[in-house]
Amino acid sequence: MTIMPIIEAPDPSLRRISATVAAVDDGLRRLMDDMLATMYAAPGIGLAAIQVDVPKRVLVIDLQRRAEPVEEGAEPIEVREPRYFVDPEIVWASDEVGAYNEGCLSVPELFGDVIRPLRIRARWLDYDGAAREEEMDGLLATCLQHEMDHLDGILFYDHLSKLKRDMIVKKLTKRQKLAA
């Protein structure tokens, strides 16, 4: 598996609209494997293909929750539960919304409270190309909506006030100048 370089905002290539995939083949599965490895290495809980310069409607998520160890005093066990979403669609969203302090692998070390529906019902193709539909809430619902935004060229800070957005873009631009 290959760790791929992650594009950082405000790189305009993150604004591209990703294309529908329609069929899951071995090439796409290889991409999803590489994306997952890249996400774990970062580390992060979600990654869209556009963030590794592939404009396809594909994303991976693993909330990597920690389970309590069996033995007292031992380190918590990291539970890996990778999820793969191809051509995801939101078919229903709750009227009830909530704020979550979001971050993004393409927006390093910066965070902002984004308001989104608390529950959604989504439809997608999985790793094997099978059609799936599920209702979700909590961090998974937030994360999926965040990653799906990437497929339409939207970044989490687009949801913030102009003041906060400008502040983040300024910090990102400064960071890139320093890195260059």
Residues that bind Zn ion (CB under 5 A): 104
Residue 141 beta carbon to Zn ion: minimum distance, rounded to whole angstroms: 15
Q: Which is nearer to Zn ion, 129 or 153 (CB)?
A: 153
Q: Which is nearer to Zn ion, 7 or 129 (CB)?
A: 7
Residue 25 beta carbon to Zn ion: minimum distance, rounded to whole angstroms: 26
Can you tell me whether residue 167 is helix, strand or coil?
helix
Residue 20 beta carbon to Zn ion: minimum distance, rounded to whole angstroms: 20
Residue 74 beta carbon to Zn ion: minimum distance, rounded to whole angstroms: 33
Which of 158, 155, 152 has its CA nearest to residue 55? Answer: 152
Q: Which two tokens stand for residue 97?
A: 């919304």
* Catalytic center residues: 147
Q: Which is nearer to Zn ion, 86 or 104 (CB)?
A: 104
Nearest residue to Zn ion, using CB?
A: 104
Query: Listing from the earlier edge strand, what are the strands of the sheet with 83-93?
Result: 46-48, 58-61, 83-93, 119-125, 131-137
Q: Which is nearer to Zn ion, 104 or 122 (CB)?
A: 104
Long-range contacts: 134-142, Cβ < 8 Å, 24+? Answer: 135/92, 139/45, 139/63, 139/100, 140/61, 140/63, 141/116, 141/117, 142/100, 142/102, 142/114, 142/116
Which of 48, 61, 49, 123 has its CA nearest to residue 87? Answer: 123
